[in-house]
Amino acid sequence: MNTPEPSMIVCAPGELDLSSPGKRHYQIAFPLDSSWGYSLLPFTVIRGTRTTGCAATAGGVVAFGGTHGNEYEGQVAVKQLCQDLEADAIRGTVFLFPQLSESACRAHTRCSPLDGVNMNRAFPGKERGSISERIASFVKREIFPRVNVVLDLHAGGNEAVFPVCASIHRVPDPQQQEEMLRTAALFDTPFIFLYSRQMASGLLTDEAEDDGKIAIGGEFGAGETVDPNGLRHAREGVRNVLRSYGMLDEAPRRVRPPSARHPVLIEAPSLHDYIATPMDGIWEPCVLPGDTVEEGQIIGRIHNFTNHASQPLPVLSHRAGTVIALYRAAVCRKGLTLYVVGDAHPLELKWEQT
Ligand SMILES: [Zn+2]
Protein backbone atom coordinates (compact mmCIF):
# COMPACT_ATOMS: atom_id res chain seq x y z
CA MET A 1 0.00 0.00 0.00
CA ASN A 2 1.39 3.39 -0.92
CA THR A 3 1.83 5.98 1.82
CA PRO A 4 -0.11 9.12 0.87
CA GLU A 5 2.06 12.08 -0.13
CA PRO A 6 2.22 14.78 2.56
CA SER A 7 0.02 17.73 1.64
CA MET A 8 1.83 20.62 -0.03
CA ILE A 9 0.76 24.27 0.14
CA VAL A 10 1.64 26.35 -2.92
CA CYS A 11 1.52 30.05 -2.11
CA ALA A 12 3.19 33.42 -2.53
CA PRO A 13 5.98 34.41 -0.08
CA GLY A 14 3.63 36.82 1.72
CA GLU A 15 1.04 34.10 2.35
CA LEU A 16 3.27 31.75 4.41
CA ASP A 17 2.26 30.89 7.97
CA LEU A 18 5.58 31.04 9.82
CA SER A 19 4.24 31.15 13.37
CA SER A 20 1.31 28.75 13.98
CA PRO A 21 2.19 25.53 15.86
CA GLY A 22 2.69 22.42 13.71
CA LYS A 23 4.56 21.31 10.57
CA ARG A 24 3.74 22.69 7.13
CA HIS A 25 5.29 21.84 3.75
CA TYR A 26 5.27 24.66 1.20
CA GLN A 27 6.28 25.40 -2.33
CA ILE A 28 6.85 29.16 -2.30
CA ALA A 29 5.90 30.64 -5.68
CA PHE A 30 8.42 33.19 -6.95
CA PRO A 31 7.29 34.57 -10.35
CA LEU A 32 9.69 33.86 -13.21
CA ASP A 33 11.30 36.72 -15.13
CA SER A 34 11.16 35.13 -18.56
CA SER A 35 7.75 33.50 -18.78
CA TRP A 36 4.38 33.14 -17.06
CA GLY A 37 5.01 30.78 -14.17
CA TYR A 38 6.96 30.30 -10.98
CA SER A 39 10.06 28.90 -9.38
CA LEU A 40 8.38 26.72 -6.73
CA LEU A 41 10.80 26.84 -3.82
CA PRO A 42 10.51 23.85 -1.44
CA PHE A 43 10.24 24.92 2.19
CA THR A 44 9.12 23.31 5.45
CA VAL A 45 8.39 25.17 8.67
CA ILE A 46 8.11 23.29 11.97
CA ARG A 47 6.82 25.34 14.86
CA GLY A 48 7.38 23.10 17.86
CA THR A 49 4.63 22.20 20.32
CA ARG A 50 6.81 20.50 22.98
CA THR A 51 6.66 22.30 26.31
CA THR A 52 8.72 19.91 28.47
CA GLY A 53 12.49 19.57 28.81
CA CYS A 54 15.18 22.20 28.91
CA ALA A 55 14.33 25.68 27.72
CA ALA A 56 15.20 26.58 24.15
CA THR A 57 17.82 29.31 24.03
CA ALA A 58 17.54 29.82 20.26
CA GLY A 59 14.63 31.65 18.69
CA GLY A 60 14.98 29.35 15.76
CA VAL A 61 17.24 27.51 13.37
CA VAL A 62 17.28 27.57 9.58
CA ALA A 63 19.05 24.94 7.46
CA PHE A 64 19.70 25.33 3.74
CA GLY A 65 20.65 22.71 1.15
CA GLY A 66 20.96 23.35 -2.57
CA THR A 67 22.35 26.88 -2.36
CA HIS A 68 24.41 25.45 -5.22
CA GLY A 69 22.41 23.11 -7.45
CA ASN A 70 25.18 20.56 -8.11
CA GLU A 71 25.93 19.85 -4.43
CA TYR A 72 23.72 17.09 -3.11
CA GLU A 73 24.50 16.01 0.47
CA GLY A 74 22.86 19.15 1.91
CA GLN A 75 19.82 18.76 -0.35
CA VAL A 76 19.23 15.17 0.77
CA ALA A 77 20.02 15.86 4.45
CA VAL A 78 17.56 18.77 4.67
CA LYS A 79 14.90 16.81 2.73
CA GLN A 80 15.23 13.94 5.23
CA LEU A 81 14.82 16.39 8.11
CA CYS A 82 11.65 17.79 6.46
CA GLN A 83 10.22 14.28 6.70
CA ASP A 84 11.64 13.18 10.05
CA LEU A 85 11.33 16.15 12.41
CA GLU A 86 7.92 16.45 14.07
CA ALA A 87 6.43 19.44 15.85
CA ASP A 88 5.66 17.52 19.06
CA ALA A 89 9.40 16.79 19.55
CA ILE A 90 10.55 20.39 18.92
CA ARG A 91 10.74 23.53 21.03
CA GLY A 92 11.12 26.72 19.01
CA THR A 93 10.96 26.89 15.21
CA VAL A 94 12.91 25.05 12.51
CA PHE A 95 12.96 26.38 8.94
CA LEU A 96 14.15 23.97 6.25
CA PHE A 97 15.07 24.82 2.64
CA PRO A 98 16.30 21.65 0.87
CA GLN A 99 16.83 23.39 -2.50
CA LEU A 100 17.37 27.11 -1.94
CA SER A 101 18.34 27.75 -5.57
CA GLU A 102 15.45 25.66 -6.88
CA SER A 103 16.18 26.43 -10.52
CA ALA A 104 19.88 25.53 -10.16
CA CYS A 105 18.96 22.31 -8.34
CA ARG A 106 16.56 21.25 -11.09
CA ALA A 107 19.24 22.01 -13.69
CA HIS A 108 21.98 20.33 -11.56
CA THR A 109 24.19 23.39 -12.00
CA ARG A 110 26.10 25.59 -9.55
CA CYS A 111 24.36 28.80 -10.66
CA SER A 112 20.74 29.38 -11.65
CA PRO A 113 20.18 28.93 -15.40
CA LEU A 114 17.37 31.51 -15.16
CA ASP A 115 19.53 34.52 -14.31
CA GLY A 116 23.09 33.13 -14.25
CA VAL A 117 23.35 34.11 -10.58
CA ASN A 118 25.32 32.17 -7.96
CA MET A 119 22.90 32.11 -5.01
CA ASN A 120 25.87 32.23 -2.65
CA ARG A 121 26.85 35.62 -4.09
CA ALA A 122 23.29 37.01 -4.26
CA PHE A 123 22.90 38.23 -0.66
CA PRO A 124 21.39 40.47 0.66
CA GLY A 125 19.38 40.23 -2.55
CA LYS A 126 16.99 42.71 -4.11
CA GLU A 127 13.23 42.86 -3.61
CA ARG A 128 12.76 43.73 -7.29
CA GLY A 129 15.81 41.92 -8.65
CA SER A 130 16.21 38.73 -10.67
CA ILE A 131 14.78 35.43 -9.41
CA SER A 132 17.86 34.54 -7.29
CA GLU A 133 18.10 38.07 -5.89
CA ARG A 134 14.42 38.00 -4.90
CA ILE A 135 14.82 34.64 -3.12
CA ALA A 136 17.90 35.95 -1.27
CA SER A 137 15.98 39.08 -0.28
CA PHE A 138 13.10 36.95 1.03
CA VAL A 139 15.50 34.88 3.17
CA LYS A 140 17.21 38.00 4.50
CA ARG A 141 13.97 39.85 5.35
CA GLU A 142 11.61 37.06 6.42
CA ILE A 143 13.75 34.19 7.76
CA PHE A 144 16.94 35.63 9.28
CA PRO A 145 15.05 37.84 11.79
CA ARG A 146 13.26 34.70 13.09
CA VAL A 147 16.38 32.61 13.82
CA ASN A 148 19.58 32.70 15.85
CA VAL A 149 21.35 29.94 13.95
CA VAL A 150 21.89 29.72 10.16
CA LEU A 151 23.25 26.48 8.62
CA ASP A 152 24.25 26.40 4.93
CA LEU A 153 25.23 22.89 3.80
CA HIS A 154 27.53 22.76 0.76
CA ALA A 155 29.81 20.28 -1.01
CA GLY A 156 32.72 20.67 -3.41
CA GLY A 157 30.61 20.21 -6.55
CA ASN A 158 32.98 20.36 -9.46
CA GLU A 159 35.09 23.07 -7.86
CA ALA A 160 37.20 21.39 -5.23
CA VAL A 161 37.67 18.47 -2.89
CA PHE A 162 37.65 19.17 0.83
CA PRO A 163 38.01 16.75 3.70
CA VAL A 164 34.48 16.58 5.17
CA CYS A 165 34.34 19.78 7.21
CA ALA A 166 32.06 22.29 8.87
CA SER A 167 33.16 25.85 8.10
CA ILE A 168 33.08 29.29 9.69
CA HIS A 169 34.45 32.76 9.06
CA ARG A 170 36.47 34.94 11.39
CA VAL A 171 34.13 37.53 12.95
CA PRO A 172 35.01 40.56 15.11
CA ASP A 173 32.78 39.65 18.09
CA PRO A 174 34.64 37.10 20.26
CA GLN A 175 31.44 35.78 21.86
CA GLN A 176 29.84 35.17 18.45
CA GLN A 177 33.10 33.57 17.24
CA GLU A 178 33.25 31.21 20.21
CA GLU A 179 29.62 30.14 19.76
CA MET A 180 30.15 29.66 16.00
CA LEU A 181 33.13 27.39 16.67
CA ARG A 182 31.25 25.40 19.31
CA THR A 183 28.24 25.03 17.01
CA ALA A 184 30.40 24.02 14.01
CA ALA A 185 31.98 21.31 16.18
CA LEU A 186 28.53 19.72 16.61
CA PHE A 187 28.83 18.39 13.04
CA ASP A 188 31.70 16.23 14.42
CA THR A 189 33.62 16.49 11.13
CA PRO A 190 37.36 15.67 11.24
CA PHE A 191 38.12 19.31 10.35
CA ILE A 192 36.53 22.73 10.85
CA PHE A 193 37.63 25.12 8.10
CA LEU A 194 37.99 28.77 9.09
CA TYR A 195 37.96 30.26 5.59
CA SER A 196 38.54 33.62 4.01
CA ARG A 197 35.92 36.35 3.76
CA GLN A 198 38.09 38.10 1.17
CA MET A 199 37.26 35.89 -1.81
CA ALA A 200 33.89 37.39 -2.77
CA SER A 201 30.87 39.25 -1.49
CA GLY A 202 27.24 38.28 -1.16
CA LEU A 203 27.65 34.98 0.67
CA LEU A 204 24.65 33.71 2.61
CA THR A 205 26.79 33.16 5.72
CA ASP A 206 28.44 36.62 5.39
CA GLU A 207 25.02 38.19 5.53
CA ALA A 208 23.87 36.02 8.44
CA GLU A 209 26.96 36.65 10.58
CA ASP A 210 26.78 40.38 9.87
CA ASP A 211 23.24 40.16 11.29
CA GLY A 212 24.75 38.62 14.45
CA LYS A 213 23.65 35.05 13.69
CA ILE A 214 25.57 31.90 14.51
CA ALA A 215 26.37 31.14 10.85
CA ILE A 216 27.85 27.77 9.95
CA GLY A 217 28.71 26.40 6.52
CA GLY A 218 30.24 23.10 5.55
CA GLU A 219 31.59 20.97 2.74
CA PHE A 220 30.07 17.49 2.97
CA GLY A 221 31.19 15.82 -0.25
CA ALA A 222 32.57 16.43 -3.72
CA GLY A 223 32.22 15.43 -7.32
CA GLU A 224 28.44 15.81 -7.66
CA THR A 225 27.67 12.62 -5.74
CA VAL A 226 25.86 11.83 -2.48
CA ASP A 227 28.60 10.72 -0.09
CA PRO A 228 26.95 8.64 2.68
CA ASN A 229 29.52 9.75 5.24
CA GLY A 230 29.14 13.44 4.40
CA LEU A 231 25.36 13.07 4.34
CA ARG A 232 25.40 11.63 7.87
CA HIS A 233 27.54 14.51 9.16
CA ALA A 234 25.23 17.06 7.49
CA ARG A 235 21.99 15.55 8.77
CA GLU A 236 23.16 14.56 12.26
CA GLY A 237 25.02 17.86 12.58
CA VAL A 238 21.74 19.76 12.15
CA ARG A 239 20.10 17.46 14.71
CA ASN A 240 23.00 18.08 17.11
CA VAL A 241 22.51 21.84 16.71
CA LEU A 242 18.81 21.41 17.61
CA ARG A 243 19.84 19.26 20.60
CA SER A 244 22.49 21.73 21.73
CA TYR A 245 20.02 24.63 21.78
CA GLY A 246 17.40 22.59 23.67
CA MET A 247 15.12 22.44 20.63
CA LEU A 248 15.25 18.61 20.67
CA ASP A 249 15.11 17.10 24.16
CA GLU A 250 18.34 15.07 23.84
CA ALA A 251 22.04 15.69 24.39
CA PRO A 252 24.25 16.13 21.28
CA ARG A 253 25.95 12.88 20.28
CA ARG A 254 29.04 11.91 18.33
CA VAL A 255 28.54 11.37 14.60
CA ARG A 256 31.85 9.49 14.40
CA PRO A 257 32.79 6.74 16.88
CA PRO A 258 33.47 7.94 20.45
CA SER A 259 37.16 7.07 20.00
CA ALA A 260 37.57 9.35 16.93
CA ARG A 261 39.79 12.36 17.53
CA HIS A 262 38.08 15.70 18.07
CA PRO A 263 37.76 18.09 15.09
CA VAL A 264 40.89 20.00 14.11
CA LEU A 265 40.42 23.69 13.30
CA ILE A 266 42.17 24.66 10.06
CA GLU A 267 42.65 28.42 9.82
CA ALA A 268 43.13 29.94 6.37
CA PRO A 269 41.61 33.43 6.69
CA SER A 270 43.99 35.10 4.19
CA LEU A 271 43.81 34.75 0.42
CA HIS A 272 47.61 34.37 0.46
CA ASP A 273 46.92 30.72 1.23
CA TYR A 274 44.53 30.24 -1.75
CA ILE A 275 46.92 29.47 -4.58
CA ALA A 276 45.84 30.08 -8.18
CA THR A 277 46.55 27.72 -11.09
CA PRO A 278 49.52 29.23 -12.99
CA MET A 279 48.61 27.78 -16.41
CA ASP A 280 46.03 25.74 -18.29
CA GLY A 281 46.75 22.03 -18.30
CA ILE A 282 45.99 18.63 -16.83
CA TRP A 283 46.18 18.55 -13.03
CA GLU A 284 47.76 15.59 -11.29
CA PRO A 285 47.38 15.98 -7.48
CA CYS A 286 50.09 14.32 -5.37
CA VAL A 287 48.46 14.82 -1.95
CA LEU A 288 45.02 14.21 -0.50
CA PRO A 289 42.66 16.69 1.18
CA GLY A 290 43.48 16.71 4.90
CA ASP A 291 47.16 15.81 4.38
CA THR A 292 49.87 17.63 6.34
CA VAL A 293 52.53 19.13 4.04
CA GLU A 294 55.91 20.78 4.46
CA GLU A 295 57.00 24.00 2.75
CA GLY A 296 58.28 23.06 -0.72
CA GLN A 297 56.54 19.67 -0.74
CA ILE A 298 55.05 18.78 -4.09
CA ILE A 299 51.26 19.32 -4.07
CA GLY A 300 50.79 18.20 -7.67
CA ARG A 301 51.91 18.58 -11.27
CA ILE A 302 50.41 20.33 -14.30
CA HIS A 303 50.89 18.51 -17.58
CA ASN A 304 51.02 20.24 -20.96
CA PHE A 305 50.37 17.92 -23.87
CA THR A 306 51.44 20.41 -26.54
CA ASN A 307 54.81 18.69 -26.25
CA HIS A 308 54.29 15.27 -24.74
CA ALA A 309 58.05 14.95 -24.06
CA SER A 310 58.05 18.06 -21.83
CA GLN A 311 58.47 17.97 -18.04
CA PRO A 312 55.28 18.67 -16.06
CA LEU A 313 55.20 21.89 -14.00
CA PRO A 314 55.61 20.94 -10.32
CA VAL A 315 53.39 22.84 -7.87
CA LEU A 316 55.20 23.15 -4.54
CA SER A 317 53.50 24.06 -1.29
CA HIS A 318 54.20 27.72 -0.46
CA ARG A 319 54.19 26.87 3.26
CA ALA A 320 53.82 24.09 5.83
CA GLY A 321 50.31 23.25 7.02
CA THR A 322 47.23 21.15 6.28
CA VAL A 323 45.69 20.86 2.79
CA ILE A 324 42.07 21.87 3.36
CA ALA A 325 41.01 22.24 -0.30
CA LEU A 326 42.31 20.81 -3.54
CA TYR A 327 41.26 21.45 -7.13
CA ARG A 328 39.18 18.48 -8.23
CA ALA A 329 39.01 18.08 -12.01
CA ALA A 330 41.82 16.96 -14.30
CA VAL A 331 41.34 19.93 -16.64
CA CYS A 332 42.64 23.01 -14.81
CA ARG A 333 42.35 26.58 -16.01
CA LYS A 334 44.75 29.38 -15.27
CA GLY A 335 43.52 31.47 -12.33
CA LEU A 336 41.26 28.92 -10.60
CA THR A 337 42.19 28.03 -7.01
CA LEU A 338 44.43 24.97 -7.11
CA TYR A 339 44.89 24.35 -3.40
CA VAL A 340 44.47 25.89 0.06
CA VAL A 341 46.81 25.24 3.01
CA GLY A 342 45.98 26.38 6.55
CA ASP A 343 47.24 26.17 10.13
CA ALA A 344 45.97 23.28 12.24
CA HIS A 345 44.73 23.80 15.80
CA PRO A 346 43.36 20.74 17.63
CA LEU A 347 40.21 21.48 19.64
CA GLU A 348 39.31 20.23 23.10
CA LEU A 349 35.62 19.41 23.24
CA LYS A 350 33.39 17.64 25.67
CA TRP A 351 30.58 15.36 24.52
CA GLU A 352 27.93 14.30 26.97
CA GLN A 353 27.51 10.56 27.02
CA THR A 354 24.14 9.50 25.63
ZN1 LIG B 1 28.58 25.29 -2.63
Domain residue ranges of the chain, discontinuous segments joined by +: 9-268, 272-346
Q: How far is the CA of 308 from the centre of ligand 1 (A)?
A: 35
Where are the strands (E) in the chain, listed by range? 9-11, 22-31, 38-47, 60-64, 93-97, 149-152, 160-161, 165-168, 191-195, 214-219, 264-268, 274-276, 281-285, 292-293, 298-303, 313-316, 321-327, 331-332, 337-346
Alpha carbons within 13 angstroms on the beta-carbon side of residue 168 total: 29
Q: What is the pLDDT of residues 132-178, one digit of tens each?
A: 999 999 999 999 999 999 999 999 988 899 999 999 999 999 999 99
pLDDT band at 55; cut points 50, 70, 90: low
- Model pTM score: 0.95
Over residues 228-244, the mean pLDDT reads: 97
**pLDDT at site 200:** 78
Question: For residue 52, what pLDDT band results from cuts at 50, 70 and 90?
Answer: confident
- Backbone conformation region of residue 25, classed left if phi is above 0, alpha if psi is from -120 to 50, else beta: beta
State the chain's mean pLDDT as an integer. 94
Residue 118 Cα to ligand 1 midpoint, Å, equals 9
* Domain 9-268: CATH architecture, name and number where available: 3-Layer(aba) Sandwich (3.40)
More confident residue, 118 or 352: 118
Task: State the distance from the centre of ligand 1 to the C-alpha of 83, rounded, in angstroms.
Answer: 23
User: Tell me, what's the pLDDT at 57?
Assistant: 55
Rounded to the nearest angstrom, the distance between the alpha carbon of 88 and the centre of ligand 1 is 32
DSSP conformational letter for 142: I
Q: Residue 1 Cα, ligand 1 centroid: separation in angstroms?
A: 38
Contact 68, 120 (CB under 8 A): yes
Q: What is the DSSP-derived secondary structure letter of residue 90?
A: B
Q: Which fold has domain 272-346?
A: OB fold (Dihydrolipoamide Acetyltransferase, E2P) (2.40.50)
Count of all residues that appear for the chain in the document: 354
Dist. CA 67 → ligand 1 center (Å): 6
pLDDT (tens digit per residue) in 185-228: 999 999 999 998 887 789 999 999 999 999 999 999 999 999 99
